[in-house]
Every structure is written in C-alpha cells, then in structure tokens.
Amino acid sequence: MVITGASSGLGLQMAHGFAEHGADLALLARRIDRLNEIAEAFRAKGVKCLPIKCDVTNTEDVNNAAEAVIKEYGKVDVLVNNAGSSKNAGVLDMTDEDWDFTIETDLTSVFKVTRAFAKYMKEKQYGRIINISSIYGLVGNKALDTVAYHSSKGGVVNFTRAVAAELAKYNITCNALCPGFFETELTADVLKTEYFTNFMQSTVPLGRYGREGELNAAAVFLASDEASYVTGQALCVDGGYTAI
Ligand SMILES: NC(=O)c1ccc[n+]([C@@H]2O[C@H](COP(=O)([O-])OP(=O)(O)OC[C@H]3O[C@@H](n4cnc5c(N)ncnc54)[C@H](OP(=O)(O)O)[C@@H]3O)[C@@H](O)[C@H]2O)c1
C-alpha cells in the first residue's frame, strides 16, 4: 500500500497503523533521508517498506513513483493521498503565489497521484483510494483565515465523489477522511497557542485535540475488504467538531 506524505505527522502515523495490520508499505515524500530512516525501522520489525523520494506536485516524480511501486510489489491495492501543506491567508490578502502553491500541493497533487496509481488498480480490478481532506473541506471557519486550504480540501471531497463514481466499474472505491485538529509539524504553531486551544475547547465536543494514531482506525477500515460497499464518502474524525 502507498502513502504520500509519510515522512511525518498523520501519514507516518497511518503507516504504523497499516503495518500493524500486515500491510507492505511504499512511503512517498520529499525528505528521503527521513523516509530511509523510517523504512529501516519498519524493516527491523519485519515490515516490507519501500521509501520513494517524490514531490507530489511533480508529474514525472509521481509517475516514476508509481512505476517503482509496481516494480517492487507488482500491484497497488491501497493508495492514501495524504501529502499536504498550506499557505494561510484570507481571501482579501491571499497572493496568487500562495493560492497556487496550496491548490497545487493539496488538490492537484491528489489528481496526479490518483491518475498514476489508479491505472494499475484498474488492471487488477481492485483498489482502495483514501484521500485525506479535512473538516475544512466541509465547512468554513472563524478561527483562522485559510481560504486556499478550504478550497483545495473542499475540492478533494468532490474529487473523491467523482472518482468513486467513475472507477466503481473497476471495483475501485474512493473515500475521503476529514480529520479535525491533530498536532503535527503542519499545525503545531497554531494549535499550541492559547487562542486556538480556547477555540478548540469551545468547538470540539470531546474537548481535546486528536491524539497520535487516532486517525488510523478509520483509514484501516476504508482500506479493508469489509469496506467494499463504502465509496464516495467523507468520514470526519474530528472529536465531533462538525456535529455541532
Ligand atoms: N494535522 C491536522 O490537524 C490535519 C487536519 C486535517 C487535515 N490534515 C491533512 O493531513 C495531511 C497530513 O498533514 P500533517 O498534519 O500530518 O502534516 P505534516 O506533518 O506537515 O505532514 C505533511 C506531509 O506531507 C508531505 N508533503 C508536503 N508537501 C509535499 C510535496 N510537495 N510532495 C510530497 N510530499 C509532500 C511532507 O513530507 P516532505 O516534506 O518530506 O515532502 C509530510 O510528510 C495533510 O493533507 C493535511 O492537510 C491535517
């Protein structure tokens, strides 16, 4: 199985979650030194792991990564489109460059990676695609101006529906996960502030940030054979944020 953006944060956590369920891993990111260390640690535990340096915004990198995975494993059952980043600003202040960066990294990359890997899923008439969107792909927010991130993550949710409908005939499912607030390299600076902690406590029914590994069960479920009739859905793992 393939996870993009597996060198840190939620991608790395999901890699551990999948490994615990016996998956062979192909981990993609730009920081190859970090991926090599991660792969070494997995191999020491008997888990097959292929680290691949790949910028998910780069079509050539992405297509080469897909070929490398097929060369190593002969197929790809599960793809998790997790890589992401964000340049945060509101609509009045957003620059063209920051808008393009965020859309390229968080939305266009999901298209490019899906295109590259789904063709091999089609050959085998089997596939599970899981796109990491966000609660910010479903709703706006009053705590942090980040219009390009909302736009790209909303795009990921409807990309998920379109791909689910299109690829169903090849026995490929496609679903989105919408995490709430998890502390990672991407979010730590914001989440650690008193302002955001207070905001979270008044808006997240469970009253806390997501803990390390708390996204894993939902990802493993969507990747499982048992989830064969679940497609085109957006599943929130957010402590109840979108329930109120
Ligand atoms: N943390 C949260 O609260 C939260 C909530 C909702 C959604 N999400 C989503 O969850 C996903 C993972 O984020 P995270 O919070 O775990 O952040 P993170 O720790 O910063 O991880 C982001 C990962 O994406 C990779 N990445 C970024 N740009 C890339 C590129 N151009 N090509 C390849 N890899 C790239 C990074 O690896 P390299 O730098 O090595 O390339 C890193 O492994 C993102 O899509 C994010 O939007 C996070």
Domains, the chain, ordered by start: 2-243 (3.40.50.720)
Q: Which of 2, 3, 4, 8 to mutate to test the pocket of ligand 1 (most atoms within 8 A of CB)?
A: 8
Structure tokens at 21: 């369920």
Predicted confidence at residue 65, as pLDDT, reads 99
Instruction: Compute how many other C-beta atoms are within 10 angstroms of the C-beta atom of residue 145.
Output: 15
Percent of the chain whose pLDDT exceeds 90: 100
Predicted confidence at residue 62, as pLDDT, reads 99
Residues (pLDDT < 50) of the chain are: none
234-237 and 25-29 strand pairing: unpaired
Q: What is the pTM of this model?
A: 0.99
Q: Which of 184, 190, 192, 204 to mutate to test the pocket of ligand 1 (most atoms within 8 A of CB)?
A: 184
Relative to the CA of 183, which ligand 1 atom is closest?
1
Structure tokens at 186: 């991407």
Predicted confidence at residue 100, as pLDDT, reads 98
Active site residue ranges: 149
The Cα–Cα gap between 6 and 2 comes to 9
Q: How far is the CA of 34 from the centre of ligand 1 (A)?
A: 14
Span 58-83, pLDDT tens digits: 999 999 999 999 999 999 999 999 99
Predicted confidence at residue 153, as pLDDT, reads 98
Q: Are 241 and 180 in contact (CB under 8 A)?
A: yes
Query: What stretches of 53-146 show up as alpha helix (H) in DSSP?
Result: 59-73, 96-103, 109-124
Q: How far is the CA of 169 from the centre of ligand 1 (A)?
A: 31
Q: Residue 217 is inside which H or E element, if any? A: helix 216-223
DSSP three-state, residue 123: helix
The Cα–Cα gap between 51 and 69 comes to 10
Structure tokens at 223: 């990747």
Relative to the CA of 209, which ligand 1 atom is closest?
3
Name 175's Cβ contacts closer than 8 Å, sequence gap at least 6: 129, 130, 131, 160, 164, 222, 227, 230, 231, 232, 233, 234, 235
Span 107-131, pLDDT tens digits: 999 999 999 999 999 999 999 999 9
Predicted confidence at residue 90, as pLDDT, reads 98
Q: Which residues are paired to 80 by β-bridges?
A: 3, 130
Alpha carbon 186 to its chain centroid, in Å, reads 13
Cβ(83) – ligand 1 distance below 6 Å: yes
Q: How far is the CA of 105 from the centre of ligand 1 (A)?
A: 9
Q: In what order do the strands lie in the sheet with 234-237?
A: 49-53, 25-29, 2-4, 78-81, 127-132, 172-179, 234-237
Cβ(208) – ligand 1 distance below 6 Å: no
Predicted confidence at residue 6, as pLDDT, reads 98
Predicted confidence at residue 220, as pLDDT, reads 98
Predicted confidence at residue 203, as pLDDT, reads 98
Cβ(105) – ligand 1 distance below 6 Å: yes
What's the start-to-end Cα distance of the chain, in Å? 35
Structure tokens at 176: 């989105």
Alpha carbon 187 to its chain centroid, in Å, reads 15
Cβ(55) – ligand 1 distance below 6 Å: yes
Instruction: Compute how many other C-beta atoms are within 10 angstroms of the C-beta atom of residue 44.
Output: 9
DSSP state of 184: S
Cβ(235) – ligand 1 distance below 6 Å: no
Structure tokens at 10: 């939620």
Cβ(177) – ligand 1 distance below 6 Å: no
Q: Which residues are paired to 27 by β-bridges?
A: 3, 51
